[in-house]
Amino acid sequence: MKFDDPFELFLEWFEEAKRNEPMDPEAMALATTDARGAPNIRMVLMKEVDTNGFVFYTNAESTKGQELSTNPKAALCFNWRSIRRQVRVRGIVEVVTSEEADTRFASRSRDSKIGAWASKQSRPLENRKVLETAVAEAETRYLDEVPRPPYWSGYRIQPLEIEFWQNRPSRLHERMQYRREQLNQPWKKTLLYP
């Protein structure tokens, strides 16, 4: 793999995935850990990527938000079956700025904004009617502009490690790992056995 900067390679692969992946090329598995160190994984959508990291947005009071507050480290995995490639990421997590969260929230559909107010994400729900009532109340409360809830924000995974996996015949896959010990250090590139 010709790139010294993993973000350049990621963007090239992501563009190819956007052309070929039939659904949600920005979908990524997000792994976090709880206070006891037990892992948790779920799918989220990457909303931004640049040399500072990979960004997604959610309710900070959700399970993932609480886990990231307790242990601000995470792992990601993109799996693009259509192009037979994966990208794995491990790194440090930071909360995006209020301005970034405001901008992203403003870009959402009205229904998604109302849903952010109505849903107590990850907490027990007595029945669907309770959620529907909360949606109706939020729609009545916000007839015009829907502001960003104070608990809705974004997280940036700042990578210390990015691995690129390319399917090859006979399970002799190609793996390239980029690592750095700290965020301000240069990347070290290593070819790995499949």
Question: Which sequence positions are flagged as catalytic?
Answer: 171
Rounded CA separation 5/130 (Å): 49
CB 40 within 8 A of CB 31: yes
For residue 107, the Cα-to-chain-centroid distance in whole angstroms is: 17
Residue 110's Cβ-count burial label (10 Å; 0-12, 13-18, 19+) is: exposed
Question: Taking each helix axis from N to C terminus, what angle separates 128-141 and 110-118, rounded to the nearest 10 degrees?
Answer: 120
- Amino acid identity of residue 120, one-letter, is K
Single-letter amino acid, residue 53: G
Between CA 66 and CA 84 the distance in angstroms is 33
DSSP E strand boundaries for 53-167: 53-59, 73-80, 85-95, 152-166
